[in-house]
Amino acid sequence: MTITNEIIEKHGLTNNEFIEIKKLLKREPNLLELAVFSAMWNEHCSYKSSRIHLKELPTKNKNVIQGPGENAGVIDIGEDDAIVFKIESHNHPSFIEPYQGAATGVGGILRDVFTMGARPIALLNSIHFGSPKNKSTRNLLHGVVSGIGGYGNCIGIPTVAGETKFNNTYNENILVNAMAVGHVKKNKIFYSKAKGLNKSVVYVGSKTGRDGIHGASMASAEFDENSVEKKPTVQVGDPFTEKLLMEACLELMKDNSIISIQDMGAAGLTSSSVEMASKGNLGIELILDYVPCREENMTPYEMMLSESQERMLIILEDGKEENARKIFSKWDLDFVVIGKTTDTNNLTLKFKKEVVGEIPIEALANKAPMYDRKWVKKKFPSKNIHIKDLKKVKMDKALIEILSSPNESNKSWITDQYDQMVMTDTIQRSGSDAAIIRIHGKEKAIAVTVDSSANYSKSHPLTGGTQIVCETWRNLISAGSKPIAITNCLNFGNPENPEIMGEFAESIQGIKKACEFLDFPVVSGNVSFYNGTNKKNIFPTPVIGGIGLVSKLKNVKNHLLKKEGNQLFVIGKTFGHLHQSVFYKEIYSITEGPPPEINLINEKNNGEFVAKIIEKGLVTSVHDVSVGGILLGICEMSINSEFGLKINKPKKLSNIFEYFFGEDQGRYLIEVEEKNISKVNKILKENNIYSELLGIVQKDFIELNGEFKLNIKDLYKINNQWYHNY
């Protein structure tokens, strides 16, 4: 077959890339070889537009066992325990087919974790939809939530935390980011690097079908009016088979049979075989006649590009095949030796006794394009928005409007669909700053959270990148943990647009800045480009998943007020930054202006202070101040408890709305019993930490003298009504 320009374009390659392929092969590729290149050279697999920037991120500290480059990152949490975690996007598939797109996103991220030898212990998600008024939002929302719940619930992994947001920018390109966390013993971590010659390459799991062909390529291109036609590129998941696969793999991992193991995720058999061989500086030969297929007459092209789910590729030690076969047979899964490792450094594909493809591994992996794309730096927006009629707004009315908005309303209608308690180690579930998962059988736990802030990032990407790392840091500290490391999912528009590429490059610099200062490295992650439709790109949306260690279970904290008569303090200075705030957006429909500035010194000092008083047992509840400011934070602490707050009007108050709705960073709300006030004040003074007394905890009401007195039960109803009215 002659390779035409149309065929090249259909495979997501440029003419220049095709020329480079011919140079590497020293000939023209056949259609199968072209497809293999398209799978490995697309944006989703090769990170060709992002690699040059990702290299800037800090990826190491004393707790990091494995950073980026493997199926997932691994951190040391003491004794013989390690945590494996990663977040990935499944944006395009979820827009085209919301249930299966979201479900297979969960399945894929779980495989990334148990491929490393870890038993998954928690799932999280960050999901972003268009305006609730958009005609497609309702169906997309229900489909995605059902897909996440359906897969996680069936496989028996608790979905413990996440976020759901609505914004016009996602009307034609929703975001579905799934995160998984697993626990492993440090001496039982498995990697994907192939070793040894003539070792058996084994296909295990479910059979290969025609679903998901060109899935990775589809995820590396913008949508247009014909996007619905891409439905066949979406994979179909089976959580029950995934459960069997997980248990079979974990059972096999108990002995010394496995040399390397790799999930067949994006680009399926192609990427898994190439990645294993590349890391081991070996070749790999596959006999495609042996690939288990669930559909008749599948071609080598289809087998190599299929992204059918619940499959793994394993390289075994000599003589271990029969024992491994027995294990997978017991779990009713396919187990077939489909090839071997070689010294050729080539990917060799055979079918019907003929070589149908022969490509140097290096050409597919290390020689994949890496672009230093042009980008434009975004200026910090000026503060030029002044609202003259602020005093005409009633604070209680503004608060009620915010609490009843889609973004700030209670999301229990979502989380109630997820099993959060399965496996019995969930100590604290969704709704607090971070979920808490006990390490089974131990008196320690991990805190997990996932966060994003597209509004801050679209205003100034560098500040937005810094801010979202800091918010993750604060959430972990507020839960009583020591922040250890993060994973990121970086969702952006078309990187060929210099402005979009600028958003990405500056976001990376912002993330880097915060991670370095806080000693909070990036150990895994994912980049999702081309999020947009008909040249309309989404807001830059970096999503951060964070892990913290709770060394003592007594340190676990939530955000609920505990006792009448306790005092509530705000830690950190309040300057009253309203630009990009919920208040401006919901009350005035203003979305311009700069994000709040970040002072990393204050961020670190305030966080370490809060961690110190938690360790000393001097606080009863903690909550970080973020979106919505102090007043929304107070409401969140009150609404699901029986306690409110009698608020003091601050002495240095220039503008009541700026003070209570301003989104200045680096702040916490802490509840302190009267008996501990002097001790807390002493540590505040010793550490030069700024604080203000907000008020006294009381029953039933949130009250600000001269402004409002609101019943908590009423606020609860208001906060829970949006979805029921939707």
The β-bridge relationship of strands 482-491 and 73-76 is unpaired
What span, in angstroms and rounded, lies between the C-alpha atoms of 444 and 432? 19
Q: The tokens of 90 are what?
A: 């499944």
Q: Are 84 and 116 in contact (CB under 8 A)?
A: yes
**3-class state of residue 254 by DSSP:** coil
CA distances from 400 to 166, 487, 650 (A): 18, 35, 22
For 341, phi and psi rounded to 5 degrees?
-80, 150
Give the bridge partners for 400, in sequence order: none
The CA distances from residue 200 to 31, 82, 390, 505, in Å, are 27, 29, 72, 42
Under 8 Å between Cβ of 408 and 633: no
Q: Which residues of 515-526 are buried (b: 16+ CB within 10 A; e: fewer)?
A: bebbebbbbbbb
66: left (phi over 0), alpha (psi -120 to 50) or beta: beta
Contact of 166 with 137, CB cutoff 8 Å: yes
Q: Give the number of other Cβ atoms within 10 Å of residue 592's Cβ.
A: 12
Rounded-to-integer distance, Cα 436 and Cα 447, Å: 5
Q: What are phi and psi of 715, to 5 degrees?
A: -65, -35
* Edge-to-edge order in the sheet of strand 258-263: 258-263, 311-316, 200-205, 334-342, 283-287, 346-351, 354-360
123 CA to centre of own chain: 10
Going through 77-210 in order, the beta strands assigned E by DSSP cover: 81-89, 119-129, 159-166, 175-185, 200-205
| 632/570 Cα distance (integer angstroms) | 13
Q: Are the C-beta atoms of residues 78 and 444 closer than 8 Å to each other?
A: yes
Q: Confirm if 22 and 15 have CB atoms less than 8 A apart.
A: no
Phi, psi of 670 (to 5 degrees): -125, 135
Q: Are the C-beta atoms of residues 495 and 554 closer than 8 Å to each other? A: no
Cβ contact 549:482 at 8 Å: yes
Q: Considering only CA atoms, which of 346, 196, 304, 342 is closest in space to residue 260?
A: 196
* Nearest CA-CA partner of 540 in 587, 576, 488, 588: 488
Q: How many CA atoms lie within 13 A of 658 on its CB side?
A: 14
Give the relative orientation of helices 137-155 and 239-252 as an angle to the nearest 10 degrees: 40
**Helix-helix angle 31-41:268-280, to 10 degrees:** 70
Which residues, in sequence order, are CB contacts of 7 under 8 Å at separation 6+? 31, 34
What number of helices (H) and strands (E) belong to the chain?
26, 28
- Strand 567-571 and strand 667-672: pairing? antiparallel
Closest CA to 664 of 571, 573, 588, 602: 573
**Residues involved in catalysis:** 44, 90
For residues 22 and 28, is the Cβ–Cβ distance under 8 A? yes
